């Protein structure tokens, strides 16, 4: 009986070895992406496209700041809060960052309880995440109001380079819009989870299939992305 080489067996089984196997696995949707739902795949595609947009904004900001000949406003002074007659630099921004990062923790726990089918805990944690998001947006609105009263405009500001105002409103406004959309989406899904729509397969948006708690994870992907983007904004805009 002729002995068949291992590589031939692997080829017949549809599993190439070595680098060819890696390439084959990642280039074939029948292997690498067969079990991925359309909802999750589309969310990843959306997040990838959004990454390019945020990346363009941040690269544009860094280019403008590095090339301007006018002194750039000092973030420690511009974003300082006066409490008890003392200027506390970046205090509000630090609290905002803490709140948003904490919301990632509650969202991760919501996803965990969602896959355990513990709908009450899932809904409560999603609402807690939404509440933290509302807190973040409220503090951002306070920050905008404070700077507008101090004379910051998209075309100028009292402290230095005119591009500071346009960069600030564009970047933080675009991110704040994402957080607001995320809060609305969290509230909608939390309501559906609380009512048991995913347990009973009630007809409606995202709930037509029984037991599909995957939408909680998809919502979490969006929320974690928003949190991650803020880390880059915080580092490049407020600390640089």
Question: Cα dihedral angle (55, 57, 62, 66), rounded to 10 degrees?
Answer: 140
Over range 185-214, report the average pLDDT: 74
Condensed to tens digits (0 to 9), the pLDDT of residues 19-72 reads 776 666 555 555 555 666 788 888 999 999 999 999 999 999 999 999 988 888
Q: Of 200, 36, 225, whose CA–CA distance to 119 is shortest?
A: 200
The yes or no reply on domain 36-238 and CATH 1.20.120.80 is yes
Burial of 34-67, coded b for 16+ CB within 10 Å and e otherwise, reads: eeeeeebeebeeebeebeeebeebbeebeeebee
Per-residue confidence (pLDDT) for residue 106, from 0 to 100: 96
The predicted-structure confidence for 100-119, as pLDDT tens digits, reads as follows 999 999 999 999 999 888 98
| Residues 137-166: tens digit of each pLDDT | 999 999 999 999 999 999 888 888 889 999
User: CA torsion, points 80, 61, 133, 189, in degrees to nearest 10?
Assistant: 180
User: What pLDDT is stored for residue 82 in this prediction?
Assistant: 82
Q: Where are the domains of the chain?
A: 1-35, 36-238
How big is the chain, counted in residues? 240
Q: Please, what is the average pLDDT of the chain?
A: 84
């Amino acid at each position: 009986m002729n002995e068949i080489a291992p590589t031939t067996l692997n080829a017949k089984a549809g599993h190439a070895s070595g680098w060819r196997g890696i390439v084959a696995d990642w280039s074939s949707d029948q292997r690498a992406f067969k079990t991925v739902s359309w909802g999750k795949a589309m969310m990843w595609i959306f997040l990838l496209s959004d990454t390019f947009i945020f990346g363009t904004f941040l690269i544009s900001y860094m280019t403008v700041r590095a090339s301007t000949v006018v002194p750039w406003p000092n973030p420690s002074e511009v974003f300082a809060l006066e409490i008890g007659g003392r200027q506390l630099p970046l205090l509000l921004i630090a609290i905002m960052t803490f709140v948003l990062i904490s919301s990632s923790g509650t969202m991760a726990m919501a996803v965990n309880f969602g896959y355990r089918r513990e709908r009450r805990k899932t809904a409560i944690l999603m609402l807690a995440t939404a509440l933290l998001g509302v807190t973040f947006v409220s503090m951002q609105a306070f920050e905008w109001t404070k700077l507008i009263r101090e004379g910051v405009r998209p075309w100028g500001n009292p402290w230095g380079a005119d591009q500071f105002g346009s960069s600030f409103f564009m970047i933080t406004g675009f991110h704040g819009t994402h957080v607001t959309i995320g809060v609305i989406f969290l509230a909608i899904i939390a309501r559906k989870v609380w009512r048991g729509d995913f347990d009973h397969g009630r007809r409606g948006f995202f709930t037509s299939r029984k037991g599909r708690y995957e939408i909680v994870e998809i919502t979490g992907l969006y929320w974690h992305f928003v949190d991650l983007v803020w880390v880059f904004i915080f580092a490049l805009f407020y600390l640089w």
